[in-house]
């Protein structure tokens, strides 16, 4: 399978990328782990592919009270990042380590994963549970979008045409917090049939993000809210079974987050 013809531009700077993406029918390419399969199936047929791969947008930086993860940081880098271990942020590394396979984690990026907004993707659950913020750039300047406003449905986000995610901002949870991500995965694809990220704080706040069960990630604040969760069924997991899986992953994620919180508060 070979993609339909397109022109290729390797962006040399963020400004250059934004310029190129101003063209109608241009598509950004990060790790290519979602885009290239779509182009090969010819579900996508852009005129121009703008390769972000050489931009200096990978890596994790500490700012006051928060971390900024560059949009091109790979799943592999996230799964091994010391900065994301302990301190209530383990859910990010849990999630990154469980994505697809080694080859996919070597190429796939956090920015691409969020922008793609696959309803069965893992990170959206973590993004809403930890309250991540997306830093977004366009020709008109920069804005930040909270994860809870970012996901609007299957493969639909709050990004406008020509906008790029440049970084993901993570505010550090209060000392003594714990978080975890747990999924039951589709045995062939690795995507979540149901996945849950839980964050618990010493003050007793609970935030749970759930993916794989609806068009966009859901945010709930306790297991009792799961009765109201909207769940869809398909040939891999019917509605009732998927709802059951959602309960199971939520409980496991909460248990793991709580035990991490206990350990971190010593």
Q: Where are the beta strands (DSSP E) in the chain?
A: 7-10, 26-29, 48-51, 60-63, 66-70, 133-138, 141-146, 151-153, 156-157, 164-171, 178-185, 192-200, 206-211, 218-220
17 or 200, CB closer to ligand FAD? 17
Pick out residues in 171-210 that bind other proteins (CB under 8 A): 188-190
CB of 99 to ligand FAD, least distance (A): 4
Given 28, 49, 147, 198, the residue binding other proteins (CB under 8 A) = 49
Pick out residues in 153-172 that bind ligand FAD (CB under 6 A): 159, 164-165
Give the contacts of 83 (CB within 8 A, at least 6 positions apart): 60, 62, 67, 89
Given 17, 71, 76, 194, the residue binding other proteins (CB under 8 A) = 76
Given 6, 14, 32, 206, the residue binding ligand FAD (CB under 6 A) = 32
Q: Is 27 in the site for other proteins (CB under 8 A)?
A: no
CB of 171 to ligand FAD, least distance (A): 21
Q: For residue 159, what is the DSSP state?
A: P
Please name every residue paired with 151 in a beta bridge, in sequence order, or none if there are none. 157
Q: For residue 248, what is the DSSP state?
A: H
Give the contacts of 29 (CB within 8 A, at least 6 positions apart): 35, 36, 49, 50, 51, 52, 53
Q: Is 42 in the site for other proteins (CB under 8 A)?
A: no
Distance CA 105, CA 33 (A): 9
164 or 182, CB closer to ligand FAD? 164
Distance CA 156, CA 16 (A): 25
Q: Is 103 in the site for other proteins (CB under 8 A)?
A: yes
Q: Which stretch binds other proteins (CB under 8 A): 65-73, 102-110, 172-180, 253-261?
A: 102-110
Q: Is 217 in the site for ligand FAD (CB under 6 A)?
A: no
Residue 18: which of other proteins, ligand FAD, none does it interact with, CB under 5 to 8 A by kind? none
Q: Is 121 in the site for ligand FAD (CB under 6 A)?
A: yes
Angle at 58 between CA 104 and CA 64, to 5 degrees: 130
């Amino acid at each position: 399978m070979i993609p339909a013809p397109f022109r290729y531009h390797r962006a040399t700077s963020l400004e250059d990328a934004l310029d190129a993406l101003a063209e109608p029918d241009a598509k950004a390419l990060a790790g290519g782990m979602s885009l290239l399969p779509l182009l090969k199936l010819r579900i996508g047929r852009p005129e121009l592919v703008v390769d972000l791969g050489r931009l200096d947008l990978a890596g994790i930086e500490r700012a006051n009270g928060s971390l900024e993860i560059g949009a091109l940081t790979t799943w592999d880098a996230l799964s091994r990042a010391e900065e994301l271990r302990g301190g209530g942020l383990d859910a990010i590394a849990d999630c990154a380590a469980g994505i697809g396979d080694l080859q996919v984690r070597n190429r796939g990026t956090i920015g691409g994963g969020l922008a793609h907004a696959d309803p069965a993707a893992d990170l959206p659950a973590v993004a809403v549970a930890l309250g991540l913020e997306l830093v977004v750039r366009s020709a008109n300047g920069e804005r930040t979008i909270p994860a809870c406003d970012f996901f609007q449905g299957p493969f639909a986000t709050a990004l406008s045409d020509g906008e790029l995610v440049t970084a993901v901002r993570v505010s550090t949870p209060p000392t003594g917090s714990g978080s975890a991500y747990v999924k039951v995965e589709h045995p062939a694809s690795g995507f979540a049939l149901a996945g849950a990220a839980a964050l618990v704080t010493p003050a007793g706040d609970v935030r749970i993000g759930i993916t794989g069960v609806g068009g966009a990630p859901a945010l709930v604040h306790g297991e009792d809210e799961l009765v109201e969760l909207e769940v869809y069924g398909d040939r891999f997991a019917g509605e009732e079974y998927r709802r059951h899986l959602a309960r199971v992953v939520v409980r496991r994620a909460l248990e793991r987050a709580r035990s991490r919180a206990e350990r971190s508060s010593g």
